[in-house]
Amino acid sequence: MYGWSGQRLRVDLSKGDIIKEPLSYEYRKKWIGGRGFNSDVIYNEVPPEMSPFDPRARVCFGVGPMNGTAAPSTGRVTVSCKSPLTGGFGDSSMGGHWGAEVRYAGYDQIIVQGKSKKPVYIWMDDDKVEIRDASHIWGKYPRDADTMIKEELKDEDIHIMLIGPAGENLVRFACTFNDVWRAAGRTGHGAVIGSKNLKGIATRGSGSVKVARPKEFMEICNKLRQKFKNDPMKMGLYELGSLCLINIANRDGWLPWKNLQFGGTPLANNMSGETHSQTVLKHREGCYACPICCGRFTAIKEGRWAGEEFGGPEYEHAVPTGPRLGIIEDANDIWHNARLTNDLGMDGIETGGVISTAMEWYQRGLITTKDTGGMELEWGNEEVVDQLIQDIAYRRGFGDILADGASRASDKLGLGKEGQYYTIATRGMTLPGDDPRGLGFGYGLSFAMGTRGGCDHLRSLCCLELSGALYPGLNTKYLGDERPMKPTTTAGKPYMVYYEENQKAVTDCLNVCCFTTHWSYAVLTQDQLDYFNACTGLDMTLDEFLEVGERVHNLERAYWSRLMSGAREDVVPERFTKEPMPQHVDYQTNVGATLPIGEMLPKYYKYRDYEPGTGFPSDRKLKQLGLDYVADDVRPLRKKYMSDSEKKKKKYYY
């Protein structure tokens, strides 16, 4: 038993049952861990027709065989469920140290089902597992709940997964934290956890990860850490965090000013990584075994938010609740909004997405103060944004409508097709703060094809078109052509998306941070395979390794197929395809660009072996990947999808 712990933990909160299940060698090799284990459980144990809030629905926390080892950046945890935001497959991942602690406690996965009669938390102390009363911490911010549990258990060194008030109030985009500030943001699993009356999982592990070939393993890890010393992306992330992208995004026209109506703003430098580091950066933070240390800790020193401190923000946390809302003049407003969404336990991307959508509805005259409860949703109105963030988390007034997500809010308000036009969403989830008309056409294609709805930088971002220029020859190595490095070209992009989706999927099975393997390319795919084999004692080939990622991706796609979601839903917001990028910054490089999704989609389907009519994975592909039972599930649905008399594109599925 090398690499893996070889067992998972099941907790049924309705019955109070705590069960430990062995994981067979064949199972571990087929799915590797993390996202693979979770996706298998969601597909097989959460039927498509089941409500995400049904007590029988599962929420899974998956770790991988690299968690808790010396391999670079092995602190990730994948959290998966049926998404209450989209109704489809949902997952997200978070960094921190909790994943390593779960491994040291002796588990590769935690599965929670059922619903407690009262608020509880789970206490895992190695192989001793208890369900404890959490009534006294229900309603608390994650930072306060973390402190209270540590005091109760008399151990400052334990690591804890927690939700905030938004999860308790079933906000459909509530998220999950560990180590207080490390968030798994997307798809709303915080609400599923809250629906079970579960506040968190506290963990203490005293074990270790057994490595099959320790000398070889450490030689590989040491070699990779040496590479990081001079890696260009690593140096930028260490110095400035992911906010290093602000000025780049503004120059290349993908900074989402006012709900992606524009690709930049002349005041972008107010919130850049350079400015943040000079004004409010208190210290840097790294996740488990991380050689990058990209995490920020912010302390606001001046203005109305003086004295506020929090972990972060990341680019994708600050941008949606900043420039996407027209807020840029005082960067402290942006840092405050990021702090507030953290404390309340909400996905920053979706929070900014739904508020910016409402602001554009207001701008276009689709809603008025009669709809908003008197609030004037003017761009840049920080007082309104501050109030709305809190109203969403506690489901008050207009915030209660927005707490269900932009697509549902549009329907509740009766805004019709025009309202949906401005939601900037796919499959019920708003897209992140990156405009593909500037960042890259590959990224735009991945918006349509992501297996959790509106995707983001941790799932489908084609980093070869984002940071590929820093690594000459890498596009040729992986794609056979350097042209895909250029963001606004279609050359090679369908295969780029296909390749990077598979690669990111297997990376998520290992639960390794993609900043080491995609933003930075210090760790190449072969390197990942080498340390995986040395750790587990396997002798997997590169093709077999990447096939695991392809298997996971197709299983998740098949879950959507069972929901009757396919080719008709493989679309991007029409803003990207119909509205040429306007000029808003003098030096902007992508003026006039639109996203040619129709040119790329058929080629992508061929690489994936999806049926052109349905967009479902073919029988041939599913069987090739050892998913015969999935092929049996999907086969009878093909005719039904094609004969659907309404032929309507679905916006969400629950």
Strands 128-133, 120-125: parallel, antiparallel or unpaired by DSSP? antiparallel
Assess whether pLDDT exceeds 80 at residue 462: yes
Q: Is 297 left (phi over 0), alpha (psi -120 to 50) or beta?
A: beta
Closest CA relative to residue 445, chosen from 453, 436, 432? 436
The values of phi and psi at residue 297, to 5°, are -130, 120
Look at residue 137 and give its three-state secondary structure: coil
Tokens coding 469: 């220029």
pLDDT for position 542? 98
Q: Say which amino acid occupies 7.
A: Q
The values of phi and psi at residue 110, to 5°, are -125, 130
- 245 and 186 inside one domain: no
Among 35-44, 118-127, 517-526, the range scoring the smallest mean pLDDT is 517-526
Closest CA relative to residue 7, chosen from 450, 27, 55, 293? 27
Across the range 438-452, mean pLDDT stands at 95
This prediction has a pTM of 0.97
Assess whether pLDDT exceeds 80 at residue 645: no
Tokens coding 568: 């008709």
Tokens coding 638: 């093909």
Looking at residue 174, what DSSP letter applies?
B
Geometric angle at alpha carbon 134, from 131 and 140, rounded to 5°: 145
Tokens coding 575: 């803003």
Geometric angle at alpha carbon 443, from 225 and 497, rounded to 5°: 75
- 268 and 405 inside one domain: yes
Residue 510 is assigned to a structural domain of this protein: yes
pLDDT for position 213? 98
CATH number of the domain that residue 279 is part of: 1.10.569.10
What is the percent of the chain where pLDDT is above 90?
A: 93
Q: At what angle do helices 597-608 and 441-449 cross, to 10 degrees?
A: 60
- Cβ atoms of 643 and 576 closer than 8 Å: no
- List Cβ neighbours of 226 (8 Å cut-off, separation of 6 or more): none
Assess whether pLDDT exceeds 70 at residue 646: no
Cis-peptide into 47, omega within 30 deg: no
Across the range 197-213, mean pLDDT stands at 98
Q: Which residues of 54-90 are buried (b: 16+ CB within 10 A; e: fewer)?
A: beebbbbbbbbbbbbbbbbbbbbbbbbbbbbbbbbbb
- 134 and 272 inside one domain: no
pLDDT for position 306? 98
Tell which of 407, 430, 453 closes a domain.
430
Across the range 507-532, mean pLDDT stands at 95
- 420 and 468 inside one domain: no
Q: Which residues of 464-491 are buried (b: 16+ CB within 10 A; e: fewer)?
A: bbbbbeebeebbeebbeebebbbbbebe
Tokens coding 478: 């992986």
Look at residue 472 and give its three-state secondary structure: coil
300 vs 459, more confident = 300
- Cβ atoms of 221 and 73 closer than 8 Å: no
Half-sphere exposure (Cβ direction) of 541: Cα atoms closer than 13 Å: 3
Distance, CA of 456 to CA of 349 (rounded, Å): 9
Q: Which domain holds residue 61?
A: 7-204
Closest CA relative to residue 515, chosen from 232, 97, 317? 232
Residue 651 is assigned to a structural domain of this protein: no
- List Cβ neighbours of 594 (8 Å cut-off, separation of 6 or more): 437, 576, 577, 578, 579, 580, 581
Distance, CA of 653 to CA of 86 (rounded, Å): 6
Confidence of residue 377 (pLDDT cuts 50, 70, 90): very high
Confidence of residue 376 (pLDDT cuts 50, 70, 90): very high
Tell which of 164, 188, 204 closes a domain.
204
CATH number of the domain that residue 514 is part of: 1.10.599.10
- Cβ atoms of 385 and 337 closer than 8 Å: yes
Closest CA relative to residue 466, chosen from 433, 491, 441? 441
What is the tally of structural domains in the chain?
A: 3
pLDDT for position 647? 65
- 296 and 345 inside one domain: yes
Distance, CA of 432 to CA of 546 (rounded, Å): 27
- 446 and 361 inside one domain: no
Among 56-60, 185-189, 481-485, the range scoring the smallest mean pLDDT is 481-485
Residue 212 is assigned to a structural domain of this protein: no
Across the range 247-266, mean pLDDT stands at 96
Confidence of residue 459 (pLDDT cuts 50, 70, 90): confident
Distance, CA of 348 to CA of 313 (rounded, Å): 10
In order, the DSSP letters of 208-270 are: ----SSHHHHHHHHHHHHHHHTT-HHHHHHHHHGGGGGHHHHHHHT-S-BTTTTBS--TTGGG
Summarised one tens digit per residue, pLDDT across range 58-90 is 999 999 999 999 999 999 999 999 999 999 999
**For the sheet containing 17-22, what is the strand order?**
17-22, 7-12, 109-113, 59-62, 77-82, 89-94
Residue 211 is assigned to a structural domain of this protein: no
- 84 and 181 inside one domain: yes
SS (H, E, C) 19-43: EEEECCHHHHHHHCCHHHHHHHHHH
Tell which of 374, 406, 430 closes a domain.
430
Distance, CA of 128 to CA of 485 (rounded, Å): 51
Residue 481 is assigned to a structural domain of this protein: yes
- 83 and 180 inside one domain: yes
Summarised one tens digit per residue, pLDDT across range 100-143 is 999 999 999 999 999 999 999 999 999 999 999 999 999 999 99
Residue 652 is assigned to a structural domain of this protein: no
- 410 and 473 inside one domain: no
Distance, CA of 344 to CA of 175 (rounded, Å): 9
Tell me the pLDDT of the chain averaged across its residues. 96
Residue 416 is assigned to a structural domain of this protein: yes
- Cβ atoms of 347 and 173 closer than 8 Å: yes
Tokens coding 603: 């080629």
Geometric angle at alpha carbon 303, from 301 and 307, rounded to 5°: 40
Q: Is 368 left (phi over 0), alpha (psi -120 to 50) or beta?
A: beta
Across the range 301-307, mean pLDDT stands at 97
- 260 and 194 inside one domain: no
Across the range 444-458, mean pLDDT stands at 88
- 11 and 97 inside one domain: yes
- 561 and 461 inside one domain: yes
Residue 585 is assigned to a structural domain of this protein: no
Assess whether pLDDT exceeds 80 at residue 578: yes
Half-sphere exposure (Cβ direction) of 637: Cα atoms closer than 13 Å: 22
